[in-house]
A and B are shown apart, each in its own frame.
Chain A
Amino acid sequence: MTAESHKSKILLELRDVRKWFPVKEQGFVGSRQVANIKAVDGVNLVIYRGETLGLVGESGCGKTTTGKVIVKLEVPTTGQILYNGQDIYAFHTKEDEMYFKRNVQMIFQDPYSSLNPRMLVMDIIGEGLDIHEPKMSKLRRDEKVYDLLDKVGLERYHAMRYPHEFSGGQRQRIGIARSLSVNPELVVADEPVSALDVSVQAQILNLMQDLQKQFNLTYIFVAHDLSVIKHVSDRVAVMYLGTIVEYGSNNQVFTETGHPYTVSLMSAIPRPDPRRKMKRIVLPGEPPSPINVPTGCRFHPRCYKSDGEKCIKEDPPMIELEEGHLVKCHYPEM
């Protein structure tokens, strides 16, 4: 692939994005800022048209915040986010802004709190259309909602019900229908299946894959469950403490794993196979607080490969092990 055609396939690009939340202390007069929670601390990512990018990491690693800055629910502290080559925080016209907002949608984690309990399903799904297609007739809007209900595996009569009448899996289907109502290009799905039972989880994962084909969607799939990420993603980014530590194709990350953190994550997952006797790498301690980020490599206090010197002092650069396979480590596994 030439550089030019590669470029045209890029849908979204994150350039050194940081999101720091100030920690304030109540003083005698007013409050003052005492520290920063570095939730996202220098993330570079490229998302190609039509792919599914899996963003995986433990709680507090910044994966959800990354998802939120992409859909403009949070404003990054520094850095640039380019959508179709345009900075999403510097649109020139209102039309460009609306175009972006229409084309980038989100599916939320908790199907119980992400739907307004006082709205009919019809209006939950139709709300996006009311905003982005104000001239659409009521009849056509309703038709569109019925059509979406059908596409996500619900019935027409469900439109006249309230969210509390649905199970978790059904609510997640409503959330998916809502995100698709305005024909977006990019959908950021934040832990869309983590609140669901295993048998329902499989239904939703299959549904999302089917819809991706039907609507030519690009997904950013945020999750903590490595096996779900492996199942859905074309490319995977592993996050640790606000930074991406490994980044590559599904195969590169899961079978030619480079970063010690990814290696330990994979070995930490109990497999549903009693015959498998695995040697497990049990990481000591817990992820440090994003307020006090360790010096050098952020992972060094827990890393089994840390040399106790270079790793403590120098922040490792992203090195390319193979084309498209990036690892942020001084001593990657080969």
Chain B
Amino acid sequence: MEPLLEVKNLMTHFFTEAGVVEALDGIDLTVFPKESVGIVGESGCGKTQTAYSILRILAQNGQIIDGEILYKGEDLITLPEAEMRNIRGKEIAMIFQDPMTSLNPVIRIADQMIEVIALHRDVSAIEARELAINALTAVGLSEADKRIDEYPHKFSGGMRQRILIARAIALQPSLLIADEPTTALDVTIQAQVLEIFKDMRDKFDLAMMLITHNLGVVAELTERVHIFYGGRVAEVGSTFDIFTKPMHPYTIALLESIPSLDVDKGRLATIPGSVPQLINPPQGCRFHPRCRYAKEICSKDRPPMEEKVPGRFVACHFWEEVEISDLAEQVLGQKKKDIKKAK
């Protein structure tokens, strides 16, 4: 199958007074039609900047240095700005992290939605309004025909996130990028919004790129996962494989360090240090200063991203030596030897 979106060796740098920030350093990423892909990583790992690069909405001091972003076979980087506008919103829609600031507080919901629809579709204002109301109803907003004329401040965080989802899907895009869509919400509201995402995905045959640091949300909503670290991709695989047979030391450490509701972990495993600064990133593998498997080569050579097992891409020199600790064994409820066998 042809991928819907294929990002190859994407490099995005930011030019600041303090120096060049190598925010993205050779990102490879694929999303197939109708597929939900998770992008997981900690703050500053480049997950949001990847999305901004794809849509070409980087901050002014940011620049795509190298790489390709193929959407339906067409390179978005070289596309003229006028054509790029037809992609944004219509082909690739995005939901931003903070539902409280993503809507203009002084414009009615109706106008904010109709503006987007009328821009991309050849419809009258009345038809556009109709489409907007349908989209709002689809995300579970009651009395959408009345509430559409209200201002954003009348809606709670969860409701605003629904409105943003409605605005994103109203044009029936092929790809929806959701950047931490539930992070600002309470758990009970998060549960509601997750259900809506599943609903929308099935109803509209959406492909989704879900950016998050919440491993639970990823496990629930996605089919494939890209683990990001320090502006690079550490590991790619099916969600099932990533959670049950993680291969990159960072993925394993990440899974070990989260407290669990279901297993008593005793003392949490930690990753020493903190996420790297990308102005002067570590040489070689960017994870090596925090990695318990690091050897000399790790500080010199960048590990290549290779398909080690069919469907599994890992960027680590010592992926074969990586052991699942007893902790991970508990977390994953799986025996070490089974995991080894799978390798």
User: What is the interface of chain A, defined by CB distance below 8 A to chain B?
Assistant: 58-59, 167, 169-170, 197-203, 205-206, 209, 224-228, 230-232, 254, 264-276, 280, 282-283, 286-287, 302
Contact of B275 among A197, A267, A273 (CB under 8 A): A197
Given A199-B42, A202-B270, 17 other A-B residues pairs in contact with their CB atoms under 8 A:
A58-B187, A197-B213, A202-B271, A205-B259, A206-B268, A225-B259, A268-B190, A268-B191, A271-B219, A271-B262, A272-B258, A273-B219, A275-B243, A286-B156, A286-B159, A287-B188, A302-B188
Interface of A, secondary structure class, is helix
A271 to B268 alpha-carbon distance, docked (Å) = 17
Give 7 pairs: A residue, B residue, CB < 8 Å, sorted on A.
A206-B270, A270-B220, A271-B216, A271-B219, A273-B219, A274-B239, A274-B240
Are A59 and B186 interface neighbours, CB within 8 A?
A: yes
Are A206 and B267 interface neighbours, CB within 8 A?
A: yes
Are B262 and A224 interface neighbours, CB within 8 A?
A: no
A196 to B220 alpha-carbon distance, docked (Å) = 23
- CB B17 to nearest CB in A, in angstroms, measures 15
Interface size for B (C-beta < 8 A) is 47
Q: Which chain B residues in 233-271 approach chain A with CB under 8 Å?
A: 239-240, 243-244, 253-255, 257-262, 265, 267-271
User: What is the interface of chain B, defined by CB distance below 8 A to chain A?
Assistant: 42-43, 156, 158-159, 186-192, 194-195, 213-221, 239-240, 243-244, 253-255, 257-262, 265, 267-272, 274-275, 332-333
Are A167 and B261 interface neighbours, CB within 8 A?
A: no
Residues of B contacting A198 in the complex (Cβ-Cβ under 8 angstroms):
42, 213, 215, 254, 257-258
Residues of B contacting A59 in the complex (Cβ-Cβ under 8 angstroms):
186
Contact of B261 among A202, A206, A269, A283 (CB under 8 A): A269
Contact of A230 among B240, B255, B261 (CB under 8 A): B261
Are B42 and A197 interface neighbours, CB within 8 A?
A: yes
Residues of A contacting B265 in the complex (Cβ-Cβ under 8 angstroms):
231
Are A227 and B192 interface neighbours, CB within 8 A?
A: no
Q: Which residue of B lies closest to A284 (CB)?
A: B192
A226 to B192 alpha-carbon distance, docked (Å) = 18
Contacts A227-B259, A230-B259; is A275 near B191 (CB within 8 Å)?
A: no
A266 to B216 alpha-carbon distance, docked (Å) = 13
Residues of A contacting B274 in the complex (Cβ-Cβ under 8 angstroms):
167, 169-170, 197, 199-200
A267 to B194 alpha-carbon distance, docked (Å) = 13
Residues of B contacting A267 in the complex (Cβ-Cβ under 8 angstroms):
191
Contact of B188 among A254, A264, A271, A273 (CB under 8 A): A264
Residues of A contacting B255 in the complex (Cβ-Cβ under 8 angstroms):
272
Residues of A contacting B270 in the complex (Cβ-Cβ under 8 angstroms):
199, 202-203, 206
Are A273 and B191 interface neighbours, CB within 8 A?
A: no
A197 to B214 alpha-carbon distance, docked (Å) = 10
A283 to B194 alpha-carbon distance, docked (Å) = 12
Q: Which residue of B lies closest to A166 (CB)?
A: B274
